[in-house]
Amino acid sequence: MQQRTKQIVAITSILILMGFLLAQPIKGLVNEDKGTAVSNTDAASNISLEWVSQQAKQGLNASIIKEISDIEAQLPSASGPEKIDLLQQLATKWDDVNRPAPLGFVYEELATLDNQLTYWLKAGDAYRAAYTNLQDTATVAVLNGRAIQAYEKALELDAANLDAKTGLGSAYVSGTANPMAGIALLQEVVKSDPDHLEANKSLGLFSMQSRQFDRAIDRFKTVVSIQPDAESYFYLATSYENIGLKREAIAAFEKSRDFAADPTLTQFINRKIDELSK
């Protein structure tokens, strides 16, 4: 049940992300605005595990909130292996209810206590997932900064790690004034491993955001050949649609519908297919 809930949440977010991608060009790649940078010092000081935990508990079942709060209450007096065990339990709870923001903070604390590559990677991935659909730019900037720091820590432990390079490259593109450095990292990953799933997916999404739909198509064709799912076929279909390839778009939308577990996405796809069939 938990896995299905997470899948439905992820698929529903496709429509939100799609609208964001096509409405917000990447700074430095297309339609760059020359404005004044906003300081995020105040936001950074307010965003902590305690704060994101409080926010993330909103809307959760009371029994789940109690389970999480009980673990949190034990943390201040815990140390060593006991604290690591409690944090691992807490990470599992947040992951089960698909709350990536507190999950990122928990994995970062785990990594601080036990300097493992896996913890830093999971912290970075959780932070990136947390800010993907956020509209609060100050919070996005803080979480993006923490993601970058986590991936950099991972690369200190393994300078050749492709997953860390992928995460770092994606974070650079989406949240810094130097997106081309991120693109270069992602291209370095796919040069080393042409079938790297996340690097191809990230390059595909950024190609869509910069309206280079032909490049996005190439990336998502690679992605669906490795791991077909509703999300990737949806992005492939949308890319085809944007360059006028209706037949190919319909075929990809139909594939996305086959994998979809969310009736909202299915209904949206059906409408798109009807529109493209006229």
Residue 167 forms part of a structural domain: no
Per-residue confidence in pLDDT tens, the chain, 278 aa: 454 445 444 454 555 555 555 555 554 444 344 333 334 445 555 788 999 999 999 999 999 999 999 999 999 999 999 999 999 999 999 999 999 999 999 999 999 999 999 999 999 999 999 998 788 889 999 999 999 999 999 999 999 999 999 999 999 998 888 899 999 999 999 999 999 999 999 999 999 999 999 999 999 999 999 999 999 999 999 999 999 999 999 999 999 999 988 888 899 999 999 999 98
Rounded Cα distance, 131 and 140, in Å: 5
**pLDDT confidence of residue 39:** 46
Helices 162-175/117-131 angle, 10° precision: 30
Residue 16 forms part of a structural domain: yes
Q: Tell whether 15 and 49 lie within a shared domain.
A: no
Q: Tell whether 154 and 213 lie within a shared domain.
A: no
**pLDDT confidence of residue 13:** 55
Q: In the chain, which residue ranges form alpha helices assigned H by DSSP?
A: 2-23, 41-46, 49-56, 62-74, 80-96, 100-113, 117-131, 137-157, 162-175, 179-192, 197-209, 213-226, 230-242, 246-259, 263-277
Query: CB neighbours of 239 closer than 8 A, spacing ≥ 6?
Result: 204, 207, 208, 213, 214, 216, 217, 220
Q: Tell whether 197 and 121 lie within a shared domain.
A: no
Residue 7 forms part of a structural domain: yes
**pLDDT confidence of residue 71:** 98
Q: How many folded domains does the chain comprise?
A: 2
Number of Cβ within 10 Å of residue 119's Cβ equals 26
Residue 164 forms part of a structural domain: no
Residue 176 forms part of a structural domain: no
The phi-psi region of residue 59 (left if phi > 0; otherwise alpha if psi is between -120 and 50; otherwise beta) is: left
In angstroms, the Cα distances linking 224 to 37, 233, 235, 245 are: 38, 7, 10, 18
What CA dihedral angle connects 197, 256, 268 and 198, to 10 degrees? 0
pTM: 0.85
Write out the two tokens for 60: 């959760």
Q: At which residue do the structure tokens 């997916």 appear?
A: 201
**pLDDT confidence of residue 37:** 36
Residue 178 forms part of a structural domain: no
Residue 30 forms part of a structural domain: no
Q: Tell whether 149 and 204 lie within a shared domain.
A: no
Q: At which residue do the structure tokens 């909130």 appear?
A: 65
Residue 72 forms part of a structural domain: yes
Q: Tell whether 21 and 54 lie within a shared domain.
A: no
**pLDDT confidence of residue 31:** 39
| CATH label of the domain that carries residue 232 | 1.25.40.10
Q: Tell whether 71 and 19 lie within a shared domain.
A: no
In angstroms, the Cα distances linking 83 to 36, 49, 76, 103 are: 43, 15, 9, 15
**pLDDT confidence of residue 176:** 85
| CATH label of the domain that carries residue 91 | 1.25.40
Give the residue numbers spanning the domain of 126: 43-159
**pLDDT confidence of residue 29:** 47
Q: Tell whether 13 and 104 lie within a shared domain.
A: no
